Amino acid sequence: MDINLSQAPQTPQATLIQRVQVVLDSLRPMIQWDGGDVELLSVSENGVVSVRFHGACVGCPSSQATLRLGLEKNIRERIPEITAVISEDEFENPPPSPPVAHKNPDS
């Protein structure tokens, strides 16, 4: 899928946030087709984009694939200043730790 960044403002005032939003808006229909959505939360000074998933994306086992193979790949290809794309869920709902096996002291 080709994204025409000419839709984004090409003036010196154009911000990184606006450029990221143009890419997200171009990907949004595919996410919405599956019943979800994505919201741009922030772009840090070191190029980390923070997003939040909505709708069917929340808790979906494929949301990490959408994040990495869809959003991050497309944003980083089109905006070289971006270093990573993270989901708010990665920090609020980290994957559960594996169970710890305990040895029975009697064995």
Token pair for residue 85? 């794309």
Cα 74 to Cα 9, 33, 104, distances in angstroms: 19, 18, 50
Q: Which helix (H) or strand (E) holds 52?
A: strand 48-55
Structural domains of the chain ordered from first start? 16-92 (3.30.300.130)
Q: Provide the edge-to-edge strand list for the sheet that holds 48-55.
A: 36-43, 48-55, 84-87
Could you give the 3-state DSSP secondary structure of residue 20? helix
When pLDDT is cut at 50, 70 and 90, the band that residue 88 belongs to is: confident
Sign of CA dihedral 20, 21, 22, 26: positive
Q: Find, among 99, 1, 81, 94, the residue nearest to 45 by Cα.
A: 81
| Chain centroid to CA 101 | 34
Average pLDDT, stretch 64-77? 93
Q: What does pTM read for this prediction?
A: 0.69
Residue-wise pLDDT for 2-44, tens only, equals 444 445 545 333 489 999 999 999 999 999 998 999 999 999 8
